Structures are given as C-alpha cells and as structure tokens.
Chain A
Amino acid sequence: DQQVKQNSPSLSVQEGRISILNCDYTNSMFDYFLWYKKYPAEGPTFLISISSIKDKNEDGRFTVFLNKSAKHLSLHIVPSQPGDSAVYFCAARRNNAGNMLTFGGGTRLMVKP
C-alpha cells in the first residue's frame, strides 16, 4: 500500500524552463511534507518543506504547493538548471507518529543545456 506516490518516474526539461514534479498521497493523517534531492552515490538532501496548514512555501527557485483537498503536492523549480538534474523524492510525516517519513518512489529530473 503506497501512501505516497510519484507517478512520473522521469522528467526531462530544457534549461531555463520550469520543472514541475508531482506527488500524491492517500493518508489524511499526514501533516508535514518534504522534498529531498538525491545525486548518485550520495544520501538524499533536504530541499524544501511545507506544513499541512499552508498551501505554498517558497525558497529561492523552489516552490512547493499543497492541495489538501486533492491530496496532491508539487515542486516547481524556476528556472531549471543542469545542476538540478537528480532524483527528487517527496516525503510525508504522519501526525502523532514521531518523525518517521514515508517516501514516494522518486522522479528522475534531467535538465538539458
């Protein structure tokens, strides 16, 4: 039972354009959402997060949008740069379940120069 899903295994975008990575979840008890970026041979690196009481959080080129009614979140990267090429994981934390994270399967983003 996958509670966090990233339905696009890969995404290819031209440098300078917008990258939109999507994530869906099923558990309404999730109260905090995070995006992690992972390069090969490295551990995931925290990128940006959003609390369930908000619908948008922005940090530089990265913006995360949360649509609670649709149980959907997305990560926007504008403008995309070749260095953004990596695997992006969406993760969610369940209320009253400690700080354990449930991860999606990841989306491989390729930004072409």
Chain B
Amino acid sequence: DSGVTQTPKHLITATGQRVTLRCSPRSGDLSVYWYQQSLDQGLQFLIQYYNGEERAKGNILERFSAQQFPDLHSELNLSSLELGDSALYFCASSLSGTSPKRSYNEQFFGPGTRLTVL
C-alpha cells in the first residue's frame, strides 16, 4: 500500500459526459502528479501540482483540467469525453516538487482509476 488513494476504482460513462477523478496523496506529500496509461502504452504525464499550484504540464488535453485543494487532495476533471479517453488514470505523490535527493524524487503511485467511455 503506497498510501496514495484514488476514487473511484472504476468508472463507466458515455461519450460527451464529464467525470471527476479524485486523489489523496500520502500524508505529508506536497506534490501530486497525474498520469494516463492507455491500452498498450506506457504512462503519459499529464500535470503536476505542488502545494496547490500548477508546477508542470505535460500532454494534457484542453478538455482535461486539474486542481489541488488546500488539504492537498487533487481532482482531475475530464469533460466532453471521447472513446479514446478510455484509460487507466494514475495519481502519484512526492514530498517535494523537485530535488536532487532521491527521497524527494520518489513518486508513490495510487492504484489507479479505470475509465471506460462507451
């Protein structure tokens, strides 16, 4: 158990709909990351938040948005869903946003949310 929790575990919805995925980081971690793993693909970095502020952005579509709240939990909002958005969405957390020290770099991953768009 990494200490990172994600809800829901599974989500089935229809095209055009909007969903919200939720992530609670490990106790004490300030940084939250979102990754997408599509079928037969590696994990693609979407976005990072550090202590409530956006720190880095990856291949995140404009239809997707995220935020990190004062209690440090994060939500990933996916709207106007398309079939191709079906994937596993992982949240990870780390103590810091960037540091040369190994312990700060290490990202701990949650179990993921499996999104199916029909």
Q: Interface of B with A (CB < 8 Å)?
A: 2, 4, 31, 33, 35, 40-45, 48, 50, 55-56, 58, 90, 92, 94, 96-100, 102, 104-112
- List the A side residues contacting B105 at CB < 8 Å: 32, 34, 49, 93, 99
Q: How far does the alpha carbon of A34 sit from the alpha carbon of B41 in the complex, in Å?
A: 18
Contact at B48–A100, with CB atoms within 8 Å?
A: yes
State whether the Cβ of A70 lies closer than 8 Å to any Cβ in chain B. Answer: no
- Contact assessment for B33 and A100 in the assembled complex, using a CB-CB cutoff below 8 Å: yes
Report chain B residues within 8 Å CB of A44.
43, 90, 109
| Contact residues of A: prevailing secondary structure | strand
B107/A46 in contact, CB under 8 A: yes
Mark A residues whose CB is within 8 Å of B.
4, 6, 32, 34, 36, 41-46, 49, 51, 89, 91, 93, 97-106
A43 near B4: Cβ-Cβ < 8 Å = yes
CB < 8 Å: which of A4, A6, A98 contacts B98? A98
Query: In this complex, what residue of B is CB-closest to A105?
Result: B42
B111 x A99 contact (CB < 8 A)? no
Whether A100 contacts B111 in the complex (CB less than 8 A), given A43-B90, A44-B43, A89-B42, comes out as: no
Which A residue sits closest to B41, measured CB to CB? Answer: A105
Contact between chains at A42 and B42 (CB < 8 Å): no
